Amino acid sequence: MKKINFEPVDWNYQEKEAWTCPSHQFQSPINIVNDHAKPMKEDGSLILRYRKKIDAIVNTGYCVQGYLKGVASINNRLFNFQQFHFHAKGEHTIDEKEFPLELHLVHQSENGKMAVIAVLFEIGEENNSIDFILDHLNESEFDNRFNLLSLVPKNLNYYHYLGSLTTPPLTENVEWYVLMEPMTLSKKQLNRLTEIHNHNYRETQEINDRQVLKKIFHA
């Protein structure tokens, strides 16, 4: 028979009103240590089907945010696309490396579960879609053909962990998929973005008792 060891606990059913609920244990963003990330065994497929028209591009007061319709199959579950938005500088770090910009693609499942795909940006080649977004910020009428996948790398390898929203209410109900391959934008484009919002990022949080997984897709 198996030998079971119990860790000592300090609660009882007679004083339920004293039970505490440590929150802030699974917060985002985090620094991802590549060598600590365990290969993900599950299929983990990402299938992104976003409509090629954007419905609105707005300054929320906290970030530049875009809305369009779409669905994603994430590890074989269906999510509805909700919105995308930018943080400068980037929120996640990889082996302590910082990125100047991070794009969040926010999805929600029918049970309320959130899944965010994060795209990290480096300074390099310009990306026309960044100009498109800034050119039409807060506009009500424009030619709204737009391909969100132009802001997403072709290679969808990712780091995965369980975390939270990075802005209040910081809800811990979020599956994170941080894409490994960064995209680029020009220094000029980054300046246009950070003239609107700079420092709209949260510092990395403690990883605590979490296991980061990594998914490498083989062609």
Note whether 211 binds its own copies by CB under 8 A: yes
Stretch that binds its own copies, among 70-78, 93-101, 150-158, 186-194 (CB under 8 A): 70-78
Residue from 26, 50, 86, 99 that binds its own copies (CB under 8 A)? 26
Tokens 């599950």 -> residue = 42
106, 84 Cβ separation under 8 angstroms: yes
- Distance in angstroms (rounded) separating the CA atoms of residues 17 and 13: 9
- List the Cα angle 65/122/203 in 5-degree steps: 65
Q: Which amino acid does the sequence have at 17?
A: E
Considering the complex, state which of residue 4 and residue 219 has its C-beta at the smaller distance from its own copies: 4
Q: Which of residues 163-192 bind its own copies (CB under 8 A)?
A: 164, 167-173, 175
Q: How many CA atoms lie within 13 A of 89 on its CB side?
A: 10
List residues binding its own copies (CB under 8 A). 1-4, 6, 9, 11, 13, 16, 19-27, 38, 40-42, 55-56, 58, 60-62, 67, 75-78, 109-113, 139-142, 144, 160-162, 164, 167-173, 175, 199-203, 209-211, 213
